[in-house]
Amino acid sequence: MMLRTSASRVLDDSDRDEVIALLDTDPVANVFVASRVRTVGLNPARLGGQMWGYGPRGALVSLCYAGANMVPVNAGPEAVHAFADRARRQGRRCSSIVGPADAVGPLWERLEPYWGRARAVRWRQPVMATTQKPPVAADPLVRRARPEDFDVMLPACVAMFTEEVGVSPNIGDGGALYRTRVAELIRIGRSYTRIDDGRVVFKAEIGAVTPQACQIQGVWVAPDLRGHGHAVAGMAAVVEAALSCFAPVVSLYVNDFNHAARAVYRKVGFHEVDTFMSVLF
């Protein structure tokens, strides 16, 4: 029998152990949400949003992180219905819906009549992962970015975001939140770059980390230097660092139409393990 949509509820720190246990059933797909929960817990003020649960206490079935991004976790049809009902009543507060395609697709189908058209829908985004040292040589000039690199790194980060998402991160608050995030990743040693003569040649960040997995994001090569092997060698360096310093599984997701990037990741040793979908507002 289908549970009522009211079965969804807002979780708090008393649910933390159960939430983490559910997230750990798929460490790669859930790495972003798991990283947030492990770092700050479930208090909405610290989490930057709410965590919705589907199922009674002690028997959670599904989750949905509802912050700047909306991310369903282990959400079957009944949970999707419950989360869509809560999201519809609350109104759109997120800038994107992202996660497993088999959950995001039905969730968006239910929300689109109320939230209106999305700016863009990325229907198929292969999730790729590796556990092995890359079979290609790493760029020895790729290193961790340092705080003094911030002014050089920021324009490259903005260019990457704008190219990937389709809008500048400076829209809205003038880029304050984005600058804070760039600086934070540099500060905690999860931003990697090659800088030649004061110019970023290659960059990538490790955006989410748990004991089981980490996720690379923001991969970028200066446009006029593309096609010269910087992405392959740079990614090899980042993967080696990630496996050595952060987690035994390194993952990322990529647009299916970005054939060049997918070819780079395959050369570095990544293989497809799942499919995400993103709805961008």
pLDDT of 177 strictly over 70: yes
Q: Using the predicted structure, report yes or no on whether residue 258 has a pLDDT greater than 90.
A: yes
Residue 2 pLDDT: 42
pLDDT at 72: 98
Domain ranges of the chain: 5-117, 143-274
pLDDT digits (tens, 9 = 90+) for 151-166: 999 999 999 999 998 8
* Under 8 Å between Cβ of 272 and 127: yes
pLDDT number for residue 5 = 46
CA distance 176 to 98: 23
Burial 14-24 (b: 16+ CB within 10 A, else e): ebbebbeebbe
**pLDDT per position as a tens digit, 208-223:** 999 999 999 999 999 9
Q: Which CATH architecture has domain 143-274?
A: 3-Layer(aba) Sandwich (3.40)
Give the pLDDT confidence of 9-68 residue by residue, as tens digits: 999 999 999 999 999 999 999 999 999 999 999 999 999 999 999 998 889 999 999 999
pLDDT at 1 over 90: no
Task: Write down the pLDDT at residue 209.
Answer: 98
What is the CA 88 to chain-centroid distance, rounded? 23
- Which residue in 27, 24, 20, 28 sits closest to 252, CA to CA? 28
Convert the pLDDT of each residue in 114-160 to its tens digit: 999 999 999 999 999 999 999 999 999 999 999 999 999 999 999 99
pLDDT at 4: 46
Tell me the two tokens of residue 80: 């999707």
**Coil, strand or helix: which one is 269?**
coil
CB 70 within 8 Å of CB 32: no
Cα separation, 205 vs 191, whole angstroms = 4
Residue 3 clears pLDDT 50, i.e. is over it: no
Global pTM reads: 0.93
- The string of pLDDT tens digits covering residues 84-99 is 999 999 999 999 999 9
CA distances from 111 to 8, 16, 73 (A): 16, 28, 17
Tell me the H-state helices in 50-173.
77-90, 101-115, 150-165
Span 182-188, mean pLDDT? 97
From the CA atom positions of the chain, what is the Rg in Å?
19
* Average pLDDT of the chain, as a whole number: 95
pLDDT of residue 56: 85
Q: What is the pLDDT of residue 218?
A: 97
Percent of the chain with pLDDT over 70: 98
Q: Does domain 5-117 have CATH number 3.40.630?
A: yes
Tell me if 5-117 shares its fold with 143-274.
Answer: yes
Percent of the chain with pLDDT strictly greater than 90: 94
Residue 192 DSSP symbol: E
Residue 6 has a pLDDT of 55
Instruction: Report pLDDT for 172.
Output: 81
DSSP string computed for 237-250:
HHHHHHHHHT-S-E
